[in-house]
Structure 1
Amino acid sequence: MQVCFAALVDIAFACGLILDAWLRGEQACAPVSPARLGWRRARRAGILAAFVLVLCNCVSLWLQAASLWLVATHTQASIGWSVGLAGSVLLLLAAAQGGTLSAARAGFTMLAVLIVAAGKSAVGHAADASAFSVAKAVQALHLLATGTWGGIVIAGAFVLPALDTSLARAPLIRIVARMSRTAAIAVAFVIATGAFNAWRGIGGTPAVLTASMWGHALIVKLVLIAVALAIGALNRWSALPRLQRSASTMDAHTVINVMRIEAVMMAGAFVAASVLSHSVPGSSFPG
């Protein structure tokens, strides 16, 4: 049960407010904008994702024990869930705000995301380290990077079809180009921090990859990430340039459909990551 909720937390955390901000930059919130439907869908997705994040954090905290207050203040993992819950509430408040995307609102949203990441980094294997450690910092950065990459892909697969019209073709192309550039940066951090986490979890014994549930989950996650990377590269280096040249409906459909497949891979990777966080790492095995 906790694995299921942990996966939902990751997916909800991924569906942030990035697309909403980009669409506001395209003036998509204007009543006559051809991209208004996409902005409305992005806004609803941001609010729903933040609400699911709050709900999942509440349930995960409740599952720790019957007494919420004792658990929330007496175990390190539950303190992490409590911090994550506080951050998710702030994120929900930020998502529910209307009007323009001011610097204050953007800063408030970033603060909420950082609090969520800090709380989640204290849950799982990084919790074995001290309160302020390199392992927790790397894990928080890993969560932020995967949340950015996954959020762009998963939310994009839901929002971009609303921009699949001839009138909204120019905003669609610009949004996809931004998504591609941002995802490429996030992927670099995902690989670097993921390699550190894997090295720490293996504990110098590669044999644990095939001898433990943790190792099996890591292999599944790596395969899904590799497939998602390949699909993303296909979009970035083939489908998107073709769309930028032609601006055709067929090429727009191709970009969106490829992103949908990548979103499925990322959702699967989040599930595998939740299994990892609830499995005994290889470094804990003797020998």
Structure 2
Amino acid sequence: MVTPTETLKIAINAAINAGKAILEVYEKPDFKSEFKQDNSPLTEADKAANEVINTYLANTAYPIISEENKNEDYKIRKNWDYCWIVDPLDGTKEFIKRNGEFTVNIALAKNGVPILGVIYVPVSRELYYANVRKKDAFKAILNEEHEMVNDLFDVSDSIYPANTNRSIVRVVGSRSHMNQKTLDFISELEDKYENVEIVSKGSSLKFCLVAEGKADIYPRFAPTMEWDTAAGQAICNAVGVKVIEQDGKNALHYNKEDLLNPFFMVSH
């Protein structure tokens, strides 16, 4: 039986090597991109990363839900106790803009709840990873060869959310999706706090900012899919940060019949 730690190591290797495949495309003077049926962009980097991840995760016993796979019908998926939830390249718009704020997202969910999560940022070589059951989350900066400098699970790489400060709140906003509902929410916060600071980030890095104490709240009042959020939720949950549906009652749930998420809030 493969242990959760061994399973997490497989996901980490998958994410890092997918990141390397992405950079091979990113560093080309021009790369191929097209649009999917929902009008979202797809690049050759998405496809290359997905292939790498599928190869690594095939070494586990768990099926995969990926943005770039032809996913199984719900009548099959609903019987899965465990499954991988993967976004090979989260932030394709950021990739096309070449601003570096795109990630590889890999999560393992059990009965719809994320239990392991990995987010890799290929350009900055930042690696976030977490085991929710152990309440452990880490951030490592890899070397230029995309190799670990410290050992995995080195306590010096542990991350923690910030202590709340009633005079200031740092709100994570999207690079590409700041809508009126979000602006209204920020306006409400300005009535409660002396200072409201907006921290802009693309892709799943928004979750990481809250998990590592660089922001306090991330409101998401725009569409996301399960593969956009599962890894970030695992990293947040491991450090006690909650990812709750907009109604304030339930955590985001995974492997649903409809893979579209409800609006949600990340805070602790």
Structure 1 and Structure 2 fold alike (TM over 0.5): no
Q: Which has the higher contact order (CA 8 A, sep 6+)?
A: 1
Larger Rg: 1
Structure in which a larger fraction of residues adopt strand: 2
Task: With the length of structure 1 as denominator, give the TM-score of the two structures.
Answer: 0.28
